[in-house]
Amino acid sequence: MINKPQANEYPDYAINYVNKVDTTDVLELLDELKESTANLFISLGEEKASLPYAPGKWTFKDTLGHIIDTERVFAYRALVFSRNNVPQPGFDQDVYINNTDFNSRTITDLVNEYKAVREATLFLYRSFSEGQLLRLGTASGYPITVRAIVYITAGHELHHLAVLKQYGY
């Protein structure tokens, strides 16, 4: 079990992500999300998945691709900080989205990638000792602990799922 991080373990911008996690077992939540998120995106079907979820918004495929990219960045940061303290650069989601074409892929392919990334993330996060979870690193110029990254990983996905729910999905 990974205890919820204290407010001084992550930057202010991440408070909403951390607060979205309302369970004492964040790893179980990440495992449950693997299936429920995959099912949500598969249920859209190919045609709908290629459409924006609302006018002027990303497509469903872009949204899932963003979740995948972000999880990879978070997992890498957690790995680096668990091993040493090498500062990590910022992550500009718009640069990433603008330099890929998730819509050229099938939703099934993206869902399979999402599940594979999540499985790898879970193996990594489960491998951390208590000492590693408390290690502090710097990402985007802000101090952050490994355990905060674990919670932010889950909270980031919950944020995007809440946005989709707000639009009726």
Q: Give the closest residue to 118 by CA, choosing from 35, 58, 62.
A: 35
Residue 16 CA from chain centroid, whole number = 13
Question: How big is the CA angle at 98 (ends 92 and 101), to the nearest 5 degrees?
Answer: 130
162, 37 contact by CB (below 8 A): no
Residue bearing tokens 């090498």: 86
Query: Could you give the 3-state DSSP secondary structure of residue 105?
Result: coil
Global pTM value: 0.97
pLDDT tens across 39-71, in order?
Answer: 999 999 999 999 999 999 999 999 999 999 999
pLDDT band, very low/low/confident/very high, at 85 (cuts 50, 70, 90): confident
Q: What is the mean pLDDT of the chain?
A: 97
| Residues 121-140 pLDDT 10s | 999 999 999 999 999 999 99
pLDDT of residue 53: 97
Question: What is the domain partition of the chain in residue ranges?
Answer: 11-166
Cα–Cα nearest to 18, from 27, 7, 32, 29:
7
Query: Which residue is it, tokens 């490994």?
Result: 146
CATH placement of domain 11-166 = 1.20.120.450
What value, to the nearest 5°, has the Cα angle with vertex 162 and ends 159 and 164?
115
| Residue with the larger pLDDT of the pair 14 and 24 | 14
pLDDT at 80: 98
Strand partners, 49: none
